[in-house]
Amino acid sequence: MSQQTGGRIVTNIALSLDGHYAAPDNPLDMSWVMPYAVSDVARDHLTSLWETASTALLGRVNAEGFLGFWPTVIGMEGVDPRDKAFAKWLVETDKVVLSSTLDAAPWERTTVVDKPTAQVAEELKTTRGGDVLVLSSASVIKALLRAGTIDRLALTVFPVLLGGGPRLFDDGLPAAQWTLVSQTAGEDGTLALVYDRIR
When mean pLDDT is compared across 1-5, 140-144, 153-157, the lowest value belongs to 1-5
- Residue 160 in contact with residue 17, Cβ under 8 Å? yes
Dihedral of the CA atoms 31, 33, 38, 39 (nearest 10)? 140
Query: Mind listing the pLDDT tens digit for each residue in 49-58?
Result: 999 999 999 9
**C-alpha span between 60 and 193 (Å, rounded):** 26
Predicted structure pTM score = 0.93
Mean pLDDT of 105-120: 94
Query: Mind listing the pLDDT tens digit for each residue in 62-112?
Result: 899 899 899 999 989 999 999 999 999 999 999 999 999 998 888 999 999
Kindly list the structural domains of the chain, giving each domain's residue range(s) and its CATH number in brackets, ordered by start.
Answer: 9-198 (3.40.430.10)
pLDDT at 190 over 90: yes
What per-residue confidence (pLDDT) applies to 73? 92
Give 6's pLDDT tier (boundaries 50, 70, 90): low
Query: Mind listing the pLDDT tens digit for each residue in 14-56?
Result: 999 999 999 998 888 889 999 999 999 999 999 999 999 999 9
Give 4's pLDDT tier (boundaries 50, 70, 90): very low
Share the mean pLDDT of the chain: 93
pLDDT at 155 over 50: yes
Long-range contacts of 168-175 (CB under 8 A, 24+ apart): 168/13, 168/15, 168/19, 168/21, 168/138, 168/141, 168/142, 169/19, 169/145, 170/142, 173/145, 173/146, 174/146, 174/148
Give 128's pLDDT tier (boundaries 50, 70, 90): confident
